[in-house]
């Protein structure tokens, strides 16, 4: 039997980095003043900007980049494998990246497929983001759609 335990391994981070155990985070980078809640996994090659909060029960897979001043709600799942062969791929060449801009809030229990999300976006709780978001505003639903443009 192989047994694994939640760990923090090879994590680079700025000042005032807070982690609530248990977490499984490894080979990733966090900026200053970041927070990671319990029961969260952040995989290798993920980058998280300054002043970003990741709440409990989240999963940030490889190839995710999150900007500054973001909020990732409870239970948010990021996906990097689109199952193009009809089954999970264990070859990173098949995976796609996700880029989250600055000042983005993602509501609890949302699912984010490989997309680019611009700055100043709010994703409603339980939404599924399947396409790039290029206009600042509020998005919700499955699939997530613009419901209100950001007012200047």
The catalytic site residues sit at 57
- 8 Å CB contact between 100 and 117: yes
DSSP state of 69: S
- 8 Å CB contact between 61 and 44: no
DSSP state of 43: -
Q: DSSP E strands: which ranges in 27-126?
A: 29-30, 35-36, 40-42, 47-48, 53-54, 59-60, 64-66, 71-72, 77-78, 98-100, 104-106, 111-112, 116-117, 121-123
The SS3 of residue 53 is strand
- For 119, other C-beta atoms within 10 Å of its C-beta total 15
């Amino acid at each position: 039997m192989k047994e694994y335990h939640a760990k923090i391994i090879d994590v680079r981070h700025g000042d005032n980095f807070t982690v609530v155990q248990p977490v499984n985070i490894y080979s990733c980078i966090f900026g200053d003043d970041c927070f990671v809640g319990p029961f969260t996994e952040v995989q290798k090659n993920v980058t998280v900007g300054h002043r970003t909060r990741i709440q409990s029960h989240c999963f940030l897979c490889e190839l995710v980049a999150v900007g500054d001043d973001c909020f990732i709600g409870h239970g948010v799942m990021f996906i990097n494998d689109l199952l193009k062969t009809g089954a999970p791929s264990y070859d990173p060449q098949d995976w796609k990246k996700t880029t989250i801009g600055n000042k983005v809030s993602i509501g609890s229990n949302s699912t984010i497929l490989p997309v680019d999300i611009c700055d100043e976006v709010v994703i409603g709780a339980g939404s599924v983001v399947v396409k790039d978001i290029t206009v600042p505003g509020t998005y919700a639903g499955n699939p997530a759609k613009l419901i209100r443009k950001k007012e200047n």
